Structure 1
């Protein structure tokens, strides 16, 4: 028998609420409009050069003569260092040119700001200064956006994603989601009544910047389509004893005010997909669980709308739970590609072949952190000290390993610029490997990758907070409204992405890239949700007396990962420290604080232990967790058996116990089961500790036997 959940939706052409722009409040709409695993990211930089569309509301364009500019208190050292000039305007006849150490304030007619308000500001950096920025204020608070400059402001009212991102001596139109950013900074929506123009130049570096055409472009932004599903049972016929084929006609209902052409992708939850608008699909009544059917609709600009419905097949033999394997950082460049090295001598498959039994072939779905771009294009990041890439052909190793989904939300995906990142994402698409965490702008970077197995639809989200700000590595690595990069791991992005994905998936899996490499610095001194380690918590070298490999996450790292769980993530998996850290039981959910490396060319012995984390998932959610140990031997991961395997698992158990997770280590096979609640553990699994005095004997301090 087939039971369909009821849903009442408007048919195509029926009036529906106005769709939100891609930069709506907290990006809620754009995350709900989420792609399937193989979405090809589309470039979205529509506002980089043209003049405003007719609906744009001009706030200031300097066409009415010289504005009345006042001095910003205690900062404007050169009050007269500005002029309205016709020598180099953006689109009209005039622009504002500021030089010297000048901070100017212009009072404007009050402008109300909504959740989704986006302004566009054109700027031209004629000569680099210490800091060149634009800001807005409401008389109580202020918000600034830096575009260029050698100095990096650290206060929370400064938004720095664009700083250094675009060439000097070129006009660029920056999209500023003022509503979202003000709400995230101050917790309310303002009425803006003043503008700020900054050319900070305390050291006399003779910076010069021009501003022009400040406009509210909220109504001009492209709108993501809204999609919904209707369906009807068309046929049912017996095909064997107890087996039936049930045909269902699906229909995609699309509301899109600014696009007429759309591409469709249906995922029926049983391994079959379709690109028709209104397909008919036959379900074989085998399994007794619900199939989550997903629809993705994309417009000409790549913006996406999505919906799901439920199809329950009953009765029959079930094929749940499914298993999903996770491993840590995968990087196949640098030493692996040396002349006479592993890849040249043995092939890319040699890096993954030994672990196929515990990774590629051991689960229904396999996931890793892709710690590099696969590219022969682009140029290396101009200020970053370490840049990674691997030859494009080496991505065949990901396919050979059986990887189905990767997170690209890390600090190396854009090491070779947008061109290198785009080539990587295209290669993943060509292999059918799902990816999340990076894109041509923050809209695409925040989108989930969906993967369906045996009727269970999983949403994979990737975010990172290793932006380069702590070392002033300009341009920074996180995406912005019209700038490429990874999805920035800050609270409002986590909330929007998780909230949107939760409506479209049975299980939401959040993979983060955070913490300090090798944990060589002491715990951070920042606030509970510090997006970056404080400047004083800089990474130190191996000759520094503070150098050490920490096995526990810092308090700030734990707070942000816990926030992801509080916001609705079903499991939180972290990458970046390169060493194993423990598991945490938090609110009935698992937080894996670091899976370590998996394929990586490091020589530190502390980075050699690694693992495969396995999730068991059914329609009710995550049903269990196991872990298998591995060891990176001469840069190639191998299953860790015998004493070595037990030692890795015992250490993981030690790391995890203080964080509430209990590992039951098998003595028969190299594996352990993770328990989030001690009462669920086997009765033979106990945890104990004892304190006793030591006795000096034969020059050694010896403890008497302890009963555990």
Structure 2
């Protein structure tokens, strides 16, 4: 594949001027909350069209298609015709519920103008099982927010119940769509002030969460994790009492090993499903561990509020060994039609499993489990079919207060299961904005799907806006179709972007080629989240106290965009930046910052890139530039960035200074991308959405589609027609 990028800054359009590398002072001004967007400024409605078919491709007639907003509010509905087709007008992203009395309910986030192709599973003898990642309602949910440019959700103790309900309001339609919906409850539910004396991080949530989870459609909680014991025995007892009070099933923790390993059995649609929960993270490095399996007779002693307390060592979580886990699974198969195992473990922020988690997961399937669903890394991992079962390697976060970029996207995992095993599985992408889970469409949705596909084998299928796989109980003879094409590309320091389909393999005829992926999920500023706001610029940091500055018609070609404005009454510059700094990976291949911008005269518009050696604290070096005027036209800027030595994080800032002598300064921005380049030895992959080319290549392209669907086009297009080279200033 060649050596990759030359180590120069690349700027497109009209070039750029050199700016100072200092950050200066930033006020809480500029971009705002668009929740009050007037109807006149909103885009016209656009139809969502689609088809609903059986797994064999036969059309489903009279299926009910319902468009739902947050809070389960219906805004439109229709039914499928004799061809299984439908069309419904939308003005904003919604949940699309597909229902039919003879088939399991399907739910998908869709946006105006999108096309939906949905296959459905016969309801007779089947259940729909849903799984989310880590859930907690504590810590920063109660702490004041000292960054006014990054609003986040805060629970008010005086309105605690309603606030908990609001946290799940936007995602509740999805949670309610499954027959049995499960979460990993990564927190005790308690009001005690007792805490584990040796833990650095303790997550404690209020018992009211149990009521809200039940109201939202949660039937089961996995307790086998490393935080359910953060409030020790009192916290665990309160948690169990709260869940029992609201008829939410649980497993994975208890006051003895037998209690911790006892599966939860749930009956639905004539099937009994067993849920086993356990964790490999049991506090081996501390004196007071939380394994229920390491000792049944000893006691822990510690001091709390000046008093000595004793704690039986048999209280805690189910800790898996190969024998213990396989025995639990084999026993559960005797009492259930389907067995689900949830394992909490692995390396934090790693999308792929470590050796121990892989071994335990495969052993659970070999013992008879139909599904293994894992969590703990806080990031979403891949999906894999193994023998007669399916494994989801990591579900990431669902309701959580982490402020790390890689933890902000996740998914809900759905499996259709019969007594014969798994029929099919799929994922529904989720974005955590201000700690709240939201359904997503457009570019952020595709990012989650492509990332998950990139960490999954080819038996997991990726098509337009969907990712799915079939299981051993899938009865159709029709297999998903893979569209394959071979195309030639050529360019001089050119960048191509993915429209549809992925590059399976690159053969370089001459020069260099390199694959990359955009790390910014929401750089197009489109309305992609299902919530009560419009064009709110999720995952961007900016002031929200002045006039709306992200609207649906100020971007390139009439799309949404960001507008930075300063006038003579302003004293400080305004700012736009990602909500959190992004981690720098270890491949040392560099980044490309690409964006569209427009302004007519010298506006004192500066772009600053900062490098950090930690997730918090000041940068140790910066690079900056001031793009030249675009004379009122949209221009693309392409700037290559090499991480300096010891760089662990990168961030970028877009500054606009106020005018010195009256008037107004304005800059329009759109399509901001931070492309992270892979090692040149990598010649293909479903997670990559950009191609750098300085020469000529032949590429094998692929695209999946469900059976019976028209061929999906495979398309990659140039990101910038012309580029020129220029160095930036740095400090």
Structure 1 length-normalised TM: 0.48
Return the index of the structure with the highest Cα Rg: 1
Report the TM-score, using the length of structure 2 for normalisation: 0.46
Question: Higher strand fraction: Structure 1 or Structure 2?
Answer: 2
